[in-house]
Amino acid sequence: MQMRFILYTFLLFSIFLASCSEQQESTPEDKASHSLELMEYERSFSAMSKEKGMKNAFIEYIDSNGVLLRPHHMPLKGAAAIDFLLEQNDADYSLSWDPQHAVVAESGDLGFTYGIFVIHPQQQDTSFFGTYTHIWEKQLGGKWKLLLNSMNEGIDYNDENQNFQ
């Protein structure tokens, strides 16, 4: 009798573990929906940067352990990244970007975007373009947080041939 109890307990425990490790398979529609959601989130991030300033937008969207990769700097992580952002004076320019592509993991909680950014100095008639990559993590409440931002300056970008706003 005791052996039967142990066997049933083991069997139930095994079924429980197996059910915990199974993931519901994502459909192509789910994947597309997750990618579109992340693209919209990215566009909202860019709009906030343009309207309220780069510093405010990044402080709002970056994860507390987020990493910034900047030219001529070691990677800035967590509090160092936030301190770096707080030190920035973004009063003389606006920064915005256009996400070109987004990919979200099948789990739906990790994704990346990339695209083209533009810096518009207020005192100049020219703009500066570059490329960027963002890695995102979806939080428990459904909000995406920026885990990594990498920006590369200095591309030639012809507005006549592109749809960048």
Q: Quick one: which H or E segment has residue 83?
A: helix 79-87
Q: Write the DSSP symbol of residue 84.
A: H
Rounded CA-CA distance 24/108 in Å is 11
User: 3-state SS of the chain: helix, strand, coil percent to 5?
Assistant: 40, 35, 25
Q: Is residue 16 included in any domain, yes or no?
A: no
Q: Is residue 60 included in any domain, yes or no?
A: yes
Rounded CA-CA distance 112/118 in Å is 19
Rounded CA-CA distance 96/50 in Å is 6
pLDDT tens column, 103-154: 999 999 999 999 999 999 988 888 999 999 999 999 999 999 999 999 988 8
pLDDT tens column, 46-70: 999 999 999 999 999 999 999 999 8
Q: Write the DSSP symbol of residue 159.
A: G
Rounded CA-CA distance 134/114 in Å is 6
Secondary structure of 3-55 in HEC code, one letter for each residue: HHHHHHHHHHHHHHHHHHHCCCCCCHHHHHHHHHHHHHHHHHHHHHHHHHCHH
- Give the pLDDT mean for 35-44: 96
Other Cβ atoms less than 10 A from the Cβ of 106: the count is 13
Closest by Cα among 84, 94, 52 to 149: 84
Question: What is the number of domains present in the chain?
Answer: 1
Q: Is residue 20 included in any domain, yes or no?
A: no
Q: Is residue 10 included in any domain, yes or no?
A: no
Full residue range of the structural domain in which residue 39 is found: 26-159
**CATH number reported for the structural domain that contains residue 105 in this entry:** 3.10.450.50
Q: Is residue 127 included in any domain, yes or no?
A: yes
